[in-house]
Chains A and B, each alone.
Chain A
Amino acid sequence: MHSTFVSSAIRRSLLGAVTASAIALVAPFAHAADPDPKDWDAVLAQAKGQTVYFNAWGGATNINDYIAWAGGIVAERYGVTVEHVKLDDTANAVSTVLAEKTAGRDEGGSIDLIWINGENFAAMKDKGLMFTAGGDGWVEKLPNWSLVDFENNATIQTDFTIPVEGLEAPWGGAKLVFFHDEAREKSGPLPDSFLELVDWSKANKGRFSYPAPPDFIGSSLLKQALSELAPEPAKLLQPVEAEEFEAMTAPLFAALDALHPNMWRSGRAYPKNYPAMLQLLADGELDIIFAFNPAAASAEIAKNTLPDTVRSFTFSGGTLGNTHFTAIPYNANAKAGALVFANFLMSAEAQAQKQDPNIWGDPTILALDRLSAEDKARFDALDLGIATLKPDELGPKLPEPHPSWMVEIEKEWTRRYGAGN
């Protein structure tokens, strides 16, 4: 929505197309050969002194602070400067790279590392915009890959049904959970499925809402609903086919039609995004909100933004789960620096810091049993917080639908609800 203005890197690059050839002429030998992650010492040597433009969603200060912390460490240890380009929609970074490719700017691109998953990963991989390190991917060659829990967590190597193939490095886990404030009185038991949520809203008018797509968390709720309601869920793992779209999504839109009149502001306005929902929960305008980070409620309590009476719940039938990643564009200017930073983000030190609810609270992608005793102690020392569900309370993980479904659903949603009545 409005936040899309924040990053206009995309526009810059589009127009850059006009002068791309001129730039290429001016800087003919600026870029050395691509680094080989198997020769890590060479990567470190090449990375020294590089500036990594890390394009990452910038809407939450705690995450921004975490990125700044991680950047400070790699600057100190490896001489790599990290500049956080704060996006509010990752799609902008994707189109930047695409525009650079269209313009023939195959070297010295403006983006070195992107925080990415799902649709955007699918788009970049599909259009050949990824750094492949010679074709077989770079992620599994990083020193810290040996710590990653890829055996037990399928979403590390399959991102929204798309094989990762070493093109993006896992950074954190995510699972859809719901938050409510125990201290606020509500009518009826907490919902245990999307349809129950629709019914719950009937009894608790105006106390639920979700950010309008294409907001990430808003789209995630629609995916949750789609996964629960689609007549043939198996088809969601395949690309959408035009003729089956209507039948597959009819129950979803019927449920939304029933939900919207009972939502906050009767569905005539939507919270801008996830942090806006947090504020509305804190103010008592909303009674149930949701997040993609099981530890988020504890983290917000620690930050004073939610009362300590907030608790988490999830659906017993399962909620969406996925992994988020970092990826390097094929034309990145500081590939070695990006490799060093991506590897550091996968280290036990960075992962434990990230899982601390006082910092960010984002679940790790590491296998704790593979860590050294010292590193494992970092995780054991974490107090996950009063509002965080234990791993065995989180319920089953539903797979993410194929990204093409959301493209069509967002279009249909905008047509039905997004353009005024």
Chain B
Amino acid sequence: MLRLAPALAIGILLGPVAFGILATLIPAFGYLPSLGAFEVSTRYFAEVWATPGIVQSALLSLSTGLVTTAVALLVVFLFVAGWHGTPAFLRMQHFLSPLLSVPHAAAAFGLAFLIAPSGQIMRLLSPWATGSTRPPDLLILQDPLGLSMMAGLIVKEIPFLLLVTLAALPQASVARSGQIAGALGYGRMSGFLFTSWPAIYRQIRLAVFAVIAYATSVVDVAIILGPSTPSTLAVRLTQWMNDPDLALRLTASAGALVQLGLTLLAIALWIAAEWIGRLVRLSLERRGKRLARDQWLRGTALAATVLAGLAVFAGLAILAIWSVAGFWSFPDALPRNFTLDTWSRALPSIGRPLSITITTALAAVFAATALALACLELEARTGRTGGSRALWFVYLPLIVPQVSFVFGLQLFFLNIGLDATWLALAFVHLVFVLPYVFLSLSDPWRAWDQRYASIAYGLGATPNRTFWRVRLPMLLKPALAASAVGFAVSIGQYLPTVLIGAGRLPTITTEAVALASGGDRRVIGVYAFLQMVLPFIGFALATMIPAFLFRNRRDMGTAA
């Protein structure tokens, strides 16, 4: 059984992506028998090309992907370079970690409520600073350049990249190289850049690619914060997929391939930029630049990181206030009165989406954790890791844009008669949950001291007994933490849920984004609040369960 685990995991990661792309490829070239389309041609690509504003949409997607990633990575780099090993660093880590679990859509709503012309910042500034009791007519949200959309993505990608970087830090012996660089007169940040960063960057590179892929093809955040004249490529081709004119389905498939190409182009451009970055670093290094006076840059890095975190937290707090707001006119900083009306109106219809959300997430997380544990256990027993090739498999579903293969994936479920079923939904969630669970779990698992196992074997325990009685209990905390990450990822899934659930399997996230169309801030507040509360409950349980189980085991509190 255990031996099959890696093959099964690779199948789950690779199969849906490969099949999904294939099933998108065929209609893109004009073959879709159910529409009576049998003629193989490239005319649908021509139609994509002929769509008004399509170049603008594509450029918008491309720039969103590159700018978002560059800014988020720069902030993370500066912050880690300037503050690693300090108490402030640890505090920020605790401050930002919960943000990882906030679904993108909820963070985007919060930001929208914060920065809109009628948003909270403007309310706090009016009328004493702006001189007006009316919101200014400014194009802040949905701006044509997509700046607010980029901001919404950046504040969410900073915690992600930061936590990925944190995981890579131990292998780079940052503290010791930092001391040596410091002794040679290098500034804290330049020392980090010259000695530790190359090794760290190599480790987080795939995560960076995943951010690029996500930001070039995101749908929900682009709907909430992005421009609409025109929208990003991913948003537009999802619209085509839903158009009453069925022939557009073929154009959408062609568009999905264009999206795939666009994402790959963004990654290629990024790789080119990596080269330039490397040359700059080498030139600084060769010229012996010490860059010792980096206080101001350290301050800026800290401020930027705090600002990103605060923006999300403040946005979420405002969401929560809106969900209990009575009438709240501009420029009042707080509602005139508070009421639970919105909650009591929403609660009866929340039950079904909530139970689908939770059962799907639990199923996907359980399967993903079991699979990840099996793979890691096999790895520990045989001593064979998958190496960097395995890491590519893990990142595959995160690097291929969702729109490029989830369309095709539906076809698969139809063919096996599982369309719009809970099972199909849970499986597709597993595809996206597994990478995160595996990545969160693998580092603590591999760091576990193998000598514990040797002692157990010495006492005659079988490998299985050792696993159940020694290794798993000692690693229960990280295992549950990884499950909580997976739970949060499942809750945040929008596009796969909408596509695979076919409108019949609503989750909190799909309902929230659907209601965003309604623009009723109170209702959005309720759903976005639930969106963020569920992952928090997951993390709370992940902390409490080991604490409860090991309440009589003093040393288990600190293990792993």
Contact = CB atoms under 8 A, between A and B. Distances in A.
A237 interface: no
A20 B415 CA distance: 9
B241 to A, nearest CB: 6
Given A15-B411, A273-B518, A284-B134, A86 B239 contact: no
Given A15-B414, A305-B520, A1 B239 contact: yes
A258 interface: no
A382 interface: no
A320 B51 CA distance: 32
Contact of B504 (A16, A85, A99): A85
B170 interface: no
Given A5-B238, A305-B520, A420-B53, A16 B137 contact: no
A264 B116 CA distance: 14
Given A12-B502, A268-B139, A19 B414 contact: yes
B34 A11 contact: no
Contact of B510 (A6, A26, A268): A6
B447 to A, nearest CB: 42
Interface stretch (B199-207, B296-304, B343-351, B381-389): B343-351
A136 interface: no
B346 A420 contact: no
Contact of A59 (B345, B420, B510, B518): B518
A32 interface: no
Nearest to A119: B244
Contacts of A141: none
A91 B415 CA distance: 25
A12 B419 contact: yes
B223 interface: yes
A261 B521 CA distance: 28
B34 A103 contact: yes
Given A12-B420, A59-B517, A86-B514, A7 B503 contact: yes
B502 A9 contact: yes
Contact of A19 (B341, B417, B504): B417
Nearest to B235: A2
Given A68-B348, A102-B34, A268-B229, A206 B137 contact: yes
A304 interface: yes
Interface string B402-438: 0000010011001101011000000000000000000
Interface string B485-510: 00000000001001101111010001
Size category of the binding interface on chain A: 35 or more
A420 B229 contact: yes
A268 B419 CA distance: 39
Interface string B299-332: 0000000000000000000000000011111100
Contact of A88 (B219, B224, B517): B517
Interface string A310-353: 00000000000000000000000000000000000000000000
A44 interface: no
Contacts of A98: 246
Contacts of A421: 229
Contacts of A10: 242, 244
A16 B419 contact: yes
Interface residues of B, number: 79
Nearest to B34: A17
A420 B242 contact: no
B23 to A, nearest CB: 9
B348 A3 contact: no
Interface string A284-314: 1100000000000000000111110000000
A336 B414 CA distance: 27
Given A8-B502, A14-B249, A18-B411, A273 B519 contact: yes
Contacts of B499: 8, 11
Nearest to A206: B137
B137 A265 contact: yes
Nearest to B519: A276
Interface in B94-147: 117-118, 133-135, 137-139, 141-144
A87 B242 CA distance: 11
A26 B345 CA distance: 41
A3 B229 CA distance: 15
Given A205-B137, A285-B135, A268 B242 contact: no
Contacts of B195: none
Given A6-B514, A12-B410, A304-B327, A420 B144 contact: yes
Contacts of A22: 417
A23 B519 contact: no
A182 interface: no
A20 B230 CA distance: 36
A307 to B, nearest CB: 6
Contacts of B460: none
Interface of A: 1-12, 14-20, 22-23, 26, 53, 58-62, 64-65, 68, 83, 85-89, 91-92, 94-95, 98-99, 102-103, 123, 184, 205-206, 212, 264-266, 268-273, 275-280, 282-285, 303-307, 414-415, 417-421
Given A59-B518, A279-B519, 8 more contacts: A5-B242, A6-B517, A15-B419, A53-B504, A86-B514, A102-B246, A305-B520, A420-B56
17 contacts: A1-B228, A11-B502, A14-B249, A20-B34, A65-B348, A95-B246, A123-B244, A184-B134, A266-B139, A275-B517, A276-B518, A414-B52, A417-B229, A418-B229, A418-B230, A419-B52, A419-B230
Interchain residue pairs A-B with the least CB separation, the first 7: A17-B34, A276-B519, A2-B223, A419-B53, A3-B517, A419-B52, A91-B244
